[in-house]
Amino acid sequence: MGKKLKVGKTRKDKFYHLAKETGYRSRSSFKLIQLNRKFQFLQKARALVDLCAAPGGWLQVASKFMPVSSLIIGVDLVPIKPIPNVVTLQEDITTEKCRQALRKELQTWKVDVVLNDGAPNVGANWQHDAFSQAHLTLMALKLACEFLNKGGSFVTKVFRSKDYQPLLWIFQQFFKKVQATKPQASRNESAEIFVICQGFVAPDKIDSKFFDPKHAFKEVEVQAKTVRELIPDKKPKAEGYSDGDLTLFHTFTLTAFLKADNAVDFLGKASEITFDNPDLESHSATTEEIKECCRDIKVLGRKELRLLLNWRSKLRRYLAKKLKDEAKQLDQEISLSSDEEESDSEEKPDKKKKMAEEEDGGDEEDDEEAEMEKKLAELKAEEVAELKRKKKKLLKERRKQRERVELKMDLPGVSIANTDDASLFSLMTVKKQKALTDISKGDMQAADALVDGEDDLHFSDEGDDDDEADKMSLASDLDDDDLADVEQRQKELEKKAPKKKSEMCSCSCDLTILFSNSTSMNIVDVWTLLNNFSVRLKATGLPHFVFNWLFLCSSGKKARILDAEGLALGCQIATSKKKARDLVDSSFHRFANSDEPWEVPEWFLDDERKHRKKPVPVTKEMVEEYKQKWREIDARPIKRVAEAKARKKRRMLKKMEQAKKKAEAVVNTVDISEREKMAQLKSIYKKAGVGKEKRDVTYVVTKKGAGKKVRRPPGVKGVFKVVDGRMKKDMRGMQRKEQHTKGNKTTKTRDKRQK
């Protein structure tokens, strides 16, 4: 019969195979690789001692990551197969002999790192094993304290048992920084954990009691009090077994959960809650989700654990109420059955007891409420944190945008990167966009709907979610200063005309959509729209507010929506308030709101289209100036091109540098002639790509044929070369012919072979 092996140990996981493939002697090598990747203690170390090192996987990793010619010593009870540049000792690390052997090996040296992956021979009793492991760790620490340099590191394996906390405390007495972690390569089912102690303080004198297990290991009981403690932000650490308990799966009844003094701690220990009370199982609070959660508590997150706690509170309240009702009913029965008064007197103590319990239930309710409040406060704090995160994200985005503008990757107010303009996808926006298109076509009914309508296009004072989203998109289109400015003005206007608030919202948002989304609109469209709107705007008394927008948009902050003409116009408005006012005033004219009420001939309409609009007060020169500016901006190389050019330049310089060195070597060579030197120098510089500069050659096609002497044709300057127009064609013809004959030959030989 074969020996029955433990499943966890025999299971060959990816690290096992990886170790086999990469030539590491043990899968634990990857634990050290991962620990070192996180804490970087091997790279700087010049000397290292690996305690309990067989078969030598950690030693291999150490010799790979430590600087060449570092001193590496490995100790183990069993012999370690030799590893290049590693000294191995066969000793028991708990003995004095081992200490002396190490002293002999190290002489006066001290080491920078002490590793300990020691695992005593485990067997019959987990509790005993855990203790021997902790003892082994303590002995490893003792050696570390003797041989470590000041500031050195001690990396050790520890099993999560009751001795874990005392061990951590002891480590903290000797090292500045003590961190526990479980590398990925460590199996989840293993209770091992790795503690990285950094910054050895090297005390002058060490009390021997630190290394005496009797003194060192005292019980430290830690109870979880909050859900956050139960599920920390970081990856949970592996838990060891508690005394006398050799299973990891713990099942409790619902009654036990309801009776538990500390519900959170209870959840920390329980793996499953079973239903032992049908009444509670069918309670409305016991939803399918709750039942699912009860099946495997270990996999639950904070949210689900809170759900269970709330459920518990509900059930407890329900039970308390039920008891109360029962007591009341009992009371009524007592008062009704006067005949049984005497017998009642015997039962009364029982009822009183129940009443007292009921009162206790009331106290419990208070506790529950306090607990609930505490939880609510926790939730609130989480919400606040979430909000803070969002704000931080928003600020980060704005900072990035500013940086992009500084790097000339974006224009002010225009983000190439930020294309997630929420307002583009808002249903409200789409509706308004349609209405605006209609208005721009002259449909003033749509304008009526926009401004006066109580329908879904209307922006109410309270503002629903969509309103908020649109306002947000409006805000996110401006930078901080603009936003503050606009908000300030909005407040002032609200004070001045409180009744017009809803109208103001309506107008301002319409224009926002116009300016933020109408990328294709030019100033004439804007102008027409404003003309169409002008009467309404006048009615709301908000032309200045509207023109704040126009100003912001046209003075470069919204450059993307305006063409050169628009920019020129915006510039005019920006320079003078009067000009802006005049511009608005001039939009109120008799053609502003005409609806073509009568039939007119086509020629008249054409004429009207051409001439009825007041010309925009912008000169051609101004438009040209802004066009030129756009051209300059367009001509700027994009960042990637600039980077590629810089890379090319760097490569060239490097090549030149190398060529220069080679050329110097050639020049300094004595045993070759000057001519040879010249030839070599030429070839070096040619290879480096610094040959003769390419001359501009003009090709002259003649019928006489290439290479023949031809007079300089009139109008040709500089170097010219005579070529035959037919040559290319002839060459190609010849090549074709050659291929053809080759093909024939191969088919003939194939035929011959077949024959």
Ligand X SMILES: C[S@@+](CC[C@H](N)C(=O)[O-])C[C@H]1O[C@@H](n2cnc3c(N)ncnc32)[C@H](O)[C@@H]1O
* Residues catalogued as catalytic: 157
The contact mask relative to ligand X for 542-571 (x = CB under 6 A, - = no) is ------------------------------
Is there a contact between 719 and 695 (Cβ–Cβ < 8 Å)?
yes
* CB of 149 vs ligand X, minimal distance in Å: 22
Q: How far apart are CA 359 and CA 356, in angstroms?
A: 5
Q: How far apart are CA 313 and CA 33, in angstroms?
A: 47
152 binds ligand X (CB under 6 A): no
- Of positions 1, 5, 68, 78, contacts ligand X by CB under 6 A: 78
Longest dimension (CA), the chain: 147
Which residue sits closest to ligand X, CB atoms considered? 57
Q: How far apart are CA 459 and CA 465, in angstroms?
A: 11
Q: What is the dihedral of CA 231, 232, 235, 237, to 10 degrees?
A: -80
Q: Residues near 664 by Cβ (< 8 Å), separated by ≥ 6? A: none
Q: What is the dihedral of CA 417, 423, 424, 427, to 10 degrees?
A: 150
Distances (CA, A) of 211 to 134, 137, 215, 548, 594: 11, 10, 8, 77, 99
Q: Which residues, listed in sequence order, are joined to residue 195 by a DSSP beta bridge?
A: 156, 180
- Containing 313, the helix (H) or strand (E) segment is helix 302-336
Question: Is 325 labelled a binding residue?
Answer: no
Question: Is 58 labelled a binding residue?
Answer: yes
Question: Is 233 labelled a binding residue?
Answer: no
* CB of 186 vs ligand X, minimal distance in Å: 11
Question: Is 527 labelled a binding residue?
Answer: no
211 binds ligand X (CB under 6 A): no
* CB of 91 vs ligand X, minimal distance in Å: 7
> Which one of 53-61, 307-315, 538-546, 704-712 is the stretch in contact with ligand X (CB under 6 A)?
53-61
Of the chain, the end-to-end C-alpha distance in Å amounts to: 70
Burial 690-720 (b: 16+ CB within 10 A, else e): eeeeeeeeeeeeeeeebeeeeeeeeeeeeee
Q: How far apart are CA 419 and CA 654, in angstroms?
A: 40
* CB of 151 vs ligand X, minimal distance in Å: 24
CA nearest neighbour of 134 among 124, 150, 122? 122
53 binds ligand X (CB under 6 A): yes
Nearer to ligand X, 77 or 483 (CB): 77
74 binds ligand X (CB under 6 A): no
Q: How far apart are CA 710 and CA 250, in angstroms?
A: 103
User: What number of other Cβ atoms are within 10 A of residue 492's Cβ?
Assistant: 11
Nearer to ligand X, 93 or 478 (CB): 93
* CB of 15 vs ligand X, minimal distance in Å: 12
Q: Measure the CA angle with vertex 272, ends 271 and 276; round to 5°.
A: 150
Rg (CA), the chain: 43
CA nearest neighbour of 34 among 15, 17, 55? 15
CA nearest neighbour of 375 among 222, 225, 224? 225
Per CB under 6 A, which of residues 4..33 are in contact with ligand X?
A: 25-26, 28-29
Distances (CA, A) of 585 to 500, 529, 531, 568: 21, 15, 10, 19
Tokens of 188: 């989840």
Q: How far apart are CA 359 and CA 370, in angstroms?
A: 17
Half-sphere exposure of 11 toward its Cβ, with a 13 Å CA cutoff?
10
Per CB under 6 A, which of residues 336..395 are in contact with ligand X?
A: none
Nearer to ligand X, 86 or 505 (CB): 86
Nearer to ligand X, 48 or 300 (CB): 48
* CB of 198 vs ligand X, minimal distance in Å: 20
Nearer to ligand X, 127 or 255 (CB): 127
Is there a contact between 53 and 77 (Cβ–Cβ < 8 Å)?
no
* CB of 225 vs ligand X, minimal distance in Å: 36
Per CB under 6 A, which of residues 242..261 are in contact with ligand X?
A: none
- Of positions 49, 54, 514, 521, contacts ligand X by CB under 6 A: 54
> Which one of 72-80, 241-249, 266-274, 633-641 is the stretch in contact with ligand X (CB under 6 A)?
72-80
Nearer to ligand X, 117 or 368 (CB): 117
The contact mask relative to ligand X for 92-131 (x = CB under 6 A, - = no) is xxx----------------------xxxx-----------
Nearer to ligand X, 136 or 523 (CB): 136
Is there a contact between 134 and 109 (Cβ–Cβ < 8 Å)?
no
Nearer to ligand X, 41 or 58 (CB): 58
136 binds ligand X (CB under 6 A): yes
299 binds ligand X (CB under 6 A): no
CA nearest neighbour of 315 among 279, 367, 354, 288? 279
Q: How far apart are CA 259 and CA 277, in angstroms?
A: 13
76 binds ligand X (CB under 6 A): yes
CA nearest neighbour of 542 among 487, 503, 589, 590? 503
* CB of 144 vs ligand X, minimal distance in Å: 14
Nearer to ligand X, 93 or 562 (CB): 93
55 binds ligand X (CB under 6 A): yes
> If binding means CB under 6 A, how many residues of this protein chain bind ligand X?
23
Label residue 723 exposed, middle or buried (CB < 10 Å: 0-12, 13-18, 19+). Answer: middle
* CB of 32 vs ligand X, minimal distance in Å: 7
Per CB under 6 A, which of residues 488..547 are in contact with ligand X?
A: none
> Which one of 56-64, 339-347, 422-430, 655-663 is the stretch in contact with ligand X (CB under 6 A)?
56-64
Q: Measure the CA angle with vertex 648, ends 646 and 654; round to 5°.
A: 105
- Of positions 57, 240, 361, 413, contacts ligand X by CB under 6 A: 57
> Which one of 75-83, 100-108, 513-521, 602-610 is the stretch in contact with ligand X (CB under 6 A)?
75-83
Q: Where are the alpha helices (DSSP H) in 210-274?
A: 213-216, 227-230, 254-259, 263-269
> Which one of 46-54, 216-224, 690-698, 726-734 is the stretch in contact with ligand X (CB under 6 A)?
46-54
Question: Is 311 labelled a binding residue?
Answer: no
> Which one of 87-95, 399-407, 440-448, 577-585 is the stretch in contact with ligand X (CB under 6 A)?
87-95
CA nearest neighbour of 494 among 481, 480, 508? 508
* CB of 130 vs ligand X, minimal distance in Å: 14
Nearer to ligand X, 133 or 512 (CB): 133
Amino acid at 197: C
> Which one of 14-22, 47-55, 208-216, 374-382 is the stretch in contact with ligand X (CB under 6 A)?
47-55
* CB of 207 vs ligand X, minimal distance in Å: 23
156 binds ligand X (CB under 6 A): no
Nearer to ligand X, 19 or 550 (CB): 19
Give contact residues for ligand X (rule: CB under 6 A): 25-26, 28-29, 52-58, 75-78, 92-94, 117-120, 136
User: Which residues make up each annotated binding site?
Assistant: 56, 58, 76, 92, 117
User: Which residues make up each annotated binding site for S-adenosyl-L-methionine?
Assistant: 56, 58, 76, 92, 117
